[in-house]
Structure 1
């Protein structure tokens, strides 16, 4: 069990390093060598967990969805808003989410991976909107698929604009403005009046998520201190996970 936990930690370490590389350089210019350097592990450890650069990029794209699973709400339109606001909060601080956003608009990644993160976001938002419609939260003219696609495209555009002009310093405010313009066109009046669209909504919901995760992972009265083996985890994983010959991975780095 301890070895499995160390392997999971190493995989996360590699994914975060890969995310920072993809976010900085884009898919085409990113290299396995840079990921190895940033993760501080051996090349063999990287190839133990990920077969290629493309596999790493797919891991980053999948990781962004894991990062923002917001709590369910009685009001599905609030959950719709919370999903976008939590991602907004995470983009500047979570490399997986930030890199996932970049990869989703990276044409080189689209060509090489054969996948696009955007449809995943659209489908997730569409499901929330369908449920909202079933609960009477939507105006009659709303088509969930159309609104989900529009919201995804608009969010990406707002994020790119914020990145260009303020290095994302005003991203939460810009996304809040986006919701304040969009929601009156889709929500019934009674629901609209109850929606929290404030710029700090994402930060507050994420704090709620972190607290809930902590309660789930640490049983009451458990004083476990994970620091006792922290210094040896990386080295142990490098040896246990890197059975592949480092020279065998050079082809993937050249992608």
Structure 2
């Protein structure tokens, strides 16, 4: 019996998060309301507030869960996989409303009183791990600091996707990511590695 209640509670929480993500993606934090989210999720006020005490708490949960909504593509770790992941993330931003909502809220969070870089740091850690492998494989130039470049890449990518979202609704995002790599790769990859890398979307 307890197991059934727990399963039902988990399903309710997931339904609320999905409904919240869809609503925040469409309307932003200020445009969305708890009543809209409740209606879309099909839950009562009691069900909503059992899981989330406020709209801010719900927005933070969607923001921090963004990585859970993206399954990274397989591949051998190193620079090529890092590049492939950035194109994959671009496609997810174009198509995956749950992920897109988390990214939007991470950008807008100052509007609702948060200053939480956890989501950004999670991507830094993902990229850093791939760069460490790239170093072990001899793919990086001697002066490249893996953690510093991971932070630079997250910052540059965040700005690129935001510019694309404002300019074209992210229609041209993959082309902008390709342009980003066109200028970044010669600064970090050895000439031998650079000649073997593919820095365009599949």
Does residue 185 in structure 1 map to residue 187 in structure 2? yes
* Counterpart selection for 1:167 from 148, 166, 169: 169
Q: TM-score, normalised by structure 1?
A: 0.68
Structure 1 distance, partners of 2:115, 2:134, is: 32
Give the deviation of 1:88 after TM superposition.
0.8
Give the deviation of 1:71 after TM superposition.
4.3
Q: Which residue of 1 aligns with 2:60?
A: 58
Shift of the 43–176 alpha-carbon distance from structure 1 to 2, 3 Å rule, reads farther
Does residue 12 in structure 1 map to residue 14 in structure 2? yes
Q: Secondary structure at the match of 1:168?
A: coil
Q: Which residue of 2 aligns with 1:147?
A: 149
Could you tell me whether the CA contact under 8 Å between 1:22 and 1:30 is conserved in 2? yes
* Counterpart selection for 2:178 from 176, 179, 185: 176
Structure 2 distance, partners of 1:27, 1:76, is: 37
Does residue 112 in structure 1 map to residue 113 in structure 2? yes
Q: Deviations over 1:207-244 (max 9, x none)?
A: xxxxxxxxxxxxxxxxxxxxxxxxxxxxxxxxxxxxxx
Q: Secondary structure at the match of 2:104?
A: helix
Could you tell me whether the CA contact under 8 Å between 1:27 and 1:108 is conserved in 2? no
Q: Unmatched 5+ residue regions in structure 2?
A: none
Shift of the 43–84 alpha-carbon distance from structure 1 to 2, 3 Å rule, reads farther
Give the deviation of 1:6 after TM superposition.
4.5
Give the deviation of 1:72 after TM superposition.
5.0
Give the deviation of 1:100 after TM superposition.
1.6
Shift of the 39–138 alpha-carbon distance from structure 1 to 2, 3 Å rule, reads same
Q: Which residue of 1 aligns with 2:128?
A: 126
Q: Deviations over 1:45-96 (max 9, x none)?
A: 2223323223322321232112234245334112212332222111122122
Q: Please list every run of at least 4 consecutive aligned residues from structure 1 whose deviation after the TM superposition is greater than 6 angstroms.
A: none
Q: TM-score, normalised by structure 2?
A: 0.84
Higher RCO, 1 vs 2 (CA within 8 Å, ≥6 residues apart) = 1
Matched residue pairs, number? 199
Give the deviation of 1:138 after TM superposition.
0.8
Range with bigger deviation, 155-164 or 70-79: 70-79
Range with bigger deviation, 124-133 or 85-94: 124-133
Structure 1 distance, partners of 2:129, 2:186, is: 19
Range with bigger deviation, 161-170 or 114-123: 114-123
